[in-house]
Amino acid sequence: MHTQFVVGESSSSSNLSYDVFLSFRGEDTRKTFTGHLYTQLCQVGVNTFIDDEELRKGDLISTELEKAIEQSRVAIVVFSKKYSSSSWCLDELVKILDCRERLNQVVLPIFYDVDPSQVRKQTGSFGEALAKHKERLFGAERMEKWKAALTEAASLSGWDLQNMADGHESKFIGSIIKQVLQEVNQTPLDVAHYPIGLDSSIQDIELLLQSGCEHEVRMVGICGVGGIGKTTLAKAIYNRIFRQFGGCCCCFLSDIRSKAEELGLVKLQEKVLCQILKTKEFEVDSVVEGVNLIKARLGSKKVLIVLDDVDHRSQLESLTRERSWFGSGSVIIITTRDEQLLHGLTTNEIYRAKLLNENEAQQLFYRHAFNSLSPSQEYVELAQDIIKYSGGLPLALVTLGSHLQGRSVKEWRHEFKKLRAIPHCDIQKILQISFDGLDDNTQSVFLDIACAFHGCYVDEVTKTLNACGFYSESAISTLVQRNLLQRNCKLVMHDLVRYMGREIVRMESPRDCGKRSRLFNPQEVLDVLQGNKVVITRTQFICA
C-alpha cells in the first residue's frame, strides 16, 4: 500500500479573502447556533464569510458564493435538519468538496441536532429532502453529486453536538473556535513572488513522497548549488502537504547553517519541540537530552519537519538522525548543498535540484526586470545576454533582474560590462558560502580549477595538481558532492561558480594582480610579465 498525499493546486495565503466560509441552512440556524458561531469567530479575529439571503435567488448557486468558497481557507458546514432541503446548500457542499480536492481547503462538518449517519446514508430528513428534489425534476447527474457530497462530508472528522460538551452549545462552539484558530493560524509559507519553474520539481518530489508503505516515515533530501532554489522548493512542498498533518504537527526550520553557528544545536532542538508541541518555551540542557526528548515526545506523532540549509552532520544527528524518532506517516525534508550529508542518513530519496530551462529563465528574469513578459524591443538583446550569463540559476536571474529594473539601456550596458569583470555582490556572497566551508586543500584545488582547469580532462588535472602537492582526487570528490563541480571525462563548473572562484582570487589583491595567487586574465598576465611583477612564492598558475 502506498502513502497517499493530497497534491492539489494549493492556493497561497495571498490569494485568499477569508479565513472561514460558513455553509448552513438559514431558516434552521441563522438566528441561533450559526449566528452565535459567526459572532464568536469574528470576536477572535477570524475573517468569516456568512452569506446574505439576497444572494440566494433561483435554483443555482451564485458566482459570488462560488468565489467566496474558493477564497476561504476553511469551510465549516453546519448540517441541520433542513440543510438538504435547500438546493443552494447542496450545491455549496459540492463546491466546497471540490475545493478540498483541488485547493486543499480544510472542511469541518458540524452535526447540529442530526445524526451523522443520516447525512452519510441520506436517511431521515435528509432522505426525505432528496426525494422531494427528485420530484422537482432536478437532473440525475446533479442529484448524484449531492448524494456523493453528503456521504463524503459526513465521513470527515467533525463535531456532533449530542456527543460533545454534553450538548451545551457554548462549550460546543468553544471547541470549534479552538480548532478553527489552530487551522487558520497555521498559515502557508511565503514561497516566491514569481514561482516560475517549480511545478515539475514539485511533481518529482511528490512522487517520491507517495512511494513506499503507508505508515513509513519518509525522509527526502534536496541538494544543489547555492541559489538554485532548494529553500523555495522545500517551502512549496511544505505548503502542499502541511494541512495533512493536522495543521499543527509541522516545523519549518530555516537557515540551519547560520542558526547552528549563532545559537547552537540545543536551541535548534528547542525550536523543533516548541513548533510541533505548540509551546512557547521548552528547556533543553544538552544535545543528548534534546535527542531523548525528541524521541519521547514526537515518537507517536505524525509530523512534518523541514530542515533547511543543513551543512554539518551534527545538525542532522541532533534533530532527525533516525526515522524511529517520529510517528508513522511522518515526513522529513532536508535541504543542503552537500550531498554527502544525505548519503550518511537513511533517506528514502535524494532529489538534485535543477537549473531553469531557457524558457523558464527568460520568464523569471523578465518578471523581475520588467514586471512583464513583453519588454521593449531595445532591451531584448541585452536581456538575452544577461539570461545566458545567469546560466539558469534562479538566484542570479532574480538578483540581476531586480537590480536592473527601471534603468536605461545605457545603464544596462554599463552594468553588464561590469558584471563580466566583477560578479554582483549578492550573488558572490551566496555562492561563496559553499567555498568558505571547504578545507584548505579543497579550497586551493577549487580555485585552481576555476582559474585554470575548467573544461580540462580529469586525469590531466589530477596529475598536475598532485605534482604540486595537493590531494586532488579527494578534493574533486568533495567539490562534486557539494555541487560546485561536475565530473565526467572533463571537469566543468557552472559559469557563476567559476566567476565566484575567480573573484576570490581577484580580491586577494584588487589593485595589484602581481600579488595574487593565480592569474587567468590574458591582459593581466601580459601586464605582470612585461612589468616583471611576478611574485613566484604567491603566483601558482598563469593561464593565458
Identify the CA nearest to 151 among candidates 185, 202, 110, 117. Answer: 117
172 phi and psi angles, rounded to 5 deg: -60, -50
Q: What angle do CA 499, 504, 506 make, to 5 degrees?
A: 90
Task: Provide the pairing of β-strand 491-492 with 486-487.
Answer: antiparallel
Which three cell numbers mark 25? 441552512
Three-class SS state of 62: coil
486, three cell numbers: 561536475
Could you give phi then psi for residue 200, rounded to 5 degrees?
-65, -40
Give the chain's radius of gyration (CA, Å).
Answer: 30
The catalytic residue among 70, 92, 270, 360 is 92
Cα distance between residue 44 and residue 47, in whole Å: 9
3-state SS track over 113-181: CCCHHHHHHCCHHHHHHHHHHHHCCCCHHHHHHHHHHHHHHHCCCCEEHHHCHHHCHHHHHHHHHHHHH
Q: Which of 396, 395, 484, 488 is nearest to 448 (CA)?
A: 484
The C-alpha atoms of residue 340 and residue 502 are separated, in whole angstroms, by 25
Q: Position of cell 533543553?
A: 284
DSSP 8-state code for residue 405: T
Q: Check: CB of residue 298 under 8 Å from CB of residue 278.
A: no
The C-alpha atoms of residue 324 and residue 257 are separated, in whole angstroms, by 25
The letter for the amino acid at 166 is: D
Find out whether 308 and 252 touch, Cβ atoms under 8 Å.
yes
Gap between the terminal Cα atoms of the chain: 61
Q: Evaluate whether 75 touches 41 at the Cβ level (below 8 Å).
A: no
Contact 73, 184 (CB under 8 A): yes
Per DSSP bridges, beta strands 486-487 and 250-253 are: unpaired
Q: What are phi and psi of 153, to 5 degrees?
A: -65, -40
* DSSP class of 452: I
- Annotation says 508 is catalytic: no
Pairing of strands 159-160, 48-49: unpaired
**Among 501, 418, 416, 406, which Cα is nearest to 452's?**
501
Other C-beta atoms lying within 10 Å of the C-beta of residue 363: 17
Please state the φ and ψ torsions of residue 177, each to the nearest 5 degrees: -60, -45
Q: Give the up-direction half-sphere exposure of residue 472: CA atoms within 13 A in the CB hemisphere.
A: 19
Give catalytic residues, as residue numbers. Answer: 92
